[in-house]
A and B are shown apart, each in its own frame.
Chain A
Amino acid sequence: MVFKYHQLVIPSLTVSAGEVLTLTGASGIGKSSLLQWILGVPQPDITIEGQIKLNGEDVGALPIERRQIGLVTQQVDLFPHMTVEQNLLFALAAKQGDDAARHDWVKQELDSVALADYATAYPTELSGGQAARIALLRSLASAPKSILLDEPFSALDVKLRKTIRDFTWTTLTAASMPAILVTHDVQDAPGNIVNLEDYYYD
């Protein structure tokens, strides 16, 4: 990755099913840019060369919607004009199944996180912890092959942070989902940590 003032030369990184790879480093070094590139967002100001393989398939040339990579961010990004239920159905819509089956699935998922009463609530009516849970459920609802976590816990207070962190790792492990986490706080990291400052060149 060649930035305006520096470049990063990162060796091959592999994430297995159910494993979380943590990327850390100073602000501005390129953590989020790397994550967006993996997701498929064009990076007009950065030159990036490399390959992204999912289950051995090169997805680097595919548009975002065909890469099957989920995203959870610090801002949670639940669509504010949709209710909780609509947010989850929106993620499910691409899957097979009739209306009743999809609604049943949403109900089960909300039950599993004790948020069934919030099905018709709008995101602005949720607490930070509730919104974070829904955001993770929504990302998983589209059945991605991998998931990207862009500082998903940094807007939460210390107590809630631990609760949501545990919920996230448990959920991802249960789903055997490979994940890449970007964070400033190494305490967030459940496993393998890569510090991008080690690959920094002026």
Chain B
Amino acid sequence: MISRMVRVAIALLWLILPLGVVLWQSTTASFEGALSDAFRALSGSAWLTFAVTLITSLIVLFGALGLARGKRLSATWTSFIAVPHVAFAIGLLWLVSPSGWLVRIVDALLPMWQGPLQSSWLSSKSAFTLMVALVLKELPFLILMAQANVQQMPVLRWQQQAQALGYSRRRFWWLIVVPALLRRIRLPLYIIAIYTVSVVDIPLLVGPNAPALLAQAVFELNWQFNSNTQGLVHWGSLLLVLVAIVTLVVLRVVEWVLQRWLSSLAASGKRTPVAQTTGKRAGLPWFWAGLAVIIFISLLLQSVQQSWFYPSLWPQGWQWSRWLAEWPYIAPLLYNTWILAVLSATLAWLSAVALLEVQAQRQQHQLHVGWLAMLMVPQLVLVLGWQQTIGPDSGLIGLLWSHTVFCFPYAYLTLHGAYHAYPRRWLWQARSLGYGPWAAWFKILVPMLKRPLALAWAMAFSISVAQYLPTQWLAPVTHPTLTTEAVSIASGGDWRLGSVYALAQWASVWIVFMLALWGTRARN
């Protein structure tokens, strides 16, 4: 009874209250008109958001289904996934922009090249660039999720059976494994889709401006403090929910159609012999490693270059003093970022561990989607609701609350598999030897699960570091962070200075992940 009341209270605070506030404000706002007017004003943005989200989600889905077959991405790759989106986007932009590094390499290799590119679809701010950034960032996440699920299936036994029946490995994968996998990766796919619907910082950096994505448009409208635009903000945020729901419905239909099609192919009994592939190249760990390294180097060079004219491959002039000159500005941001991230990651981690322990004691091993609900609602709507409830500059407590809410599901997701796979009999053994439940937990479970526990904390830390919207809307004056400043500077067009902040942001996350991996390496 008490646990149910606690759950209801948490749901009220997390979801129902902010959503209710936004809904209430929408219906009582002085904006003349209603959803139809808002849709007219924001229809271009809404359609663009729907298209970008759907295309990104489908590319990520099919990419993950194809690449999950291969070599498993190791735990180290979680550190790549945790690279802050903002740092990733700033680095990637320099890489793929019309006069960027990739084009310069092509220029150097092909003398007849008439670069730089003049194409608008590959411009530094376009829907295409945005989708490239999102696909490259989200694809490894879904590959990891897919591979974690594949590990739980008796794929090798199935494969032996299918091959004995004359099916190639590739056909076996698509006809047998993929239908089973689709349902299992539905949740992470929906998380990616909702994130894409609601993301603000990446479109500010690399997205189109006219029309802007819906979340970006609502975000910018919310800075115009007049009653007319406030009404539009509320209806716009509800439109965002509508776009999210429609996207999820379409993704569900795509899954259903794919399932039916693969089932009919399987029922046809056709065996199309293809060359045997080892599958070792799939998963492409080298690609992600290379991309991370190139983006990192790109940021580093940008941060210290003084002049770097086309088509030169390397900067012509250096300005090492930029870091020193920026330090007085970066230091307080680093402090704000770390304090907030350490506190919110710790709170989120403790909540996730407590929840997992309670679930393990009750033998509830399934992932509870209800605890991930905050990832299934566009972030902008939730944060707008909190902003309306607690005010636009709520200080550290409000900010801490919002960061913890978004860190918690990632800590829970990261730790869930390892915690529920942990055999509880180890704890019974310790208790049968005379140790109490706390002593058994600290002396036996914690040392054995130290790496997943540490990675879950590091993941929560990285989520907090990457938060843009909650920080910008709940405490923009009192608690600016590396992320808010990096976006402000880079979206203003100063990529060199933006790279300095992006690197400081990346380094913060990277240091924590490396410490987590190094500090929990196995002795035996």
Chain A interface (Cβ < 8 Å from any Cβ of B)? 36, 39-42, 44-45, 63-65, 67-71, 73, 75, 77, 79-81, 90-91, 94, 122, 124-125, 138-139, 141-142, 144
Contact = CB atoms under 8 A, between A and B. Distances in A.
A44 B363 contact: yes
A71 B447 contact: no
A39 B432 contact: yes
B363 A142 contact: no
A31 B362 CA distance: 20
B372 interface: no
Query: Chain A CB within 10 Å — which of B362, B430, B437 has the most?
Result: B430
B426 A65 contact: no
A77 B246 CA distance: 50
A42 B436 CA distance: 15
Given A75-B423, A81-B448, A65 B432 contact: yes
B524 to A, nearest CB: 4
Contact of A80 (B425, B434, B435, B524): B524
Contacts of B432: 39, 64-65, 67, 69-71, 139, 142, 144
A91 B444 CA distance: 12
A90 B447 CA distance: 14
Nearest to A135: B429
Query: Chain B CB within 10 Å — which of A42, A65, A144 has the most?
Result: A65
Contacts, number: 69
B431 interface: yes
A41 B428 contact: yes
Nearest to A68: B434
B361 interface: yes
Given A77-B425, A77-B426, A122-B524, A65 B443 contact: no
15 contacts: A39-B432, A41-B428, A65-B434, A67-B432, A71-B432, A73-B429, A77-B425, A79-B426, A80-B448, A81-B524, A90-B430, A91-B434, A138-B433, A139-B433, A142-B433
B423 A142 contact: no
Contacts of A73: 425, 429
Contacts of B523: 81
Interface of B: 361-363, 423-426, 428-437, 440, 443-444, 447-448, 523-524
Contacts of B434: 65, 68, 91, 94, 142
A124 B425 contact: no
A144 to B, nearest CB: 7
B376 to A, nearest CB: 29
Contacts of B444: 79
A138 B434 CA distance: 12
Contacts of A81: 447-448, 523-524
A138 B433 CA distance: 8
Nearest to B440: A65
A63 B430 CA distance: 12
Given A42-B361, A44-B362, A45-B363, A90 B433 contact: yes
Contacts of A64: 428, 431-432
Contacts of B361: 42
Contacts of A63: 431, 436-437
Nearest to B450: A81
Contacts of A142: 432-434
Contacts of A75: 423, 425
A189 B428 CA distance: 24
Contacts of A42: 361
Contacts of B428: 36, 39, 41, 64, 71
Contacts of B423: 75
A141 B437 CA distance: 19
Nearest to B363: A44
Contacts of A139: 432-433
A186 to B, nearest CB: 25
Nearest to A148: B432
B150 to A, nearest CB: 25
A124 B448 CA distance: 14
Contacts of B425: 73, 75, 77
Contacts of B436: 63, 65
A144 B346 CA distance: 39
A75 B425 CA distance: 9
A185 B520 CA distance: 41
A77 B429 contact: yes
A11 to B, nearest CB: 26
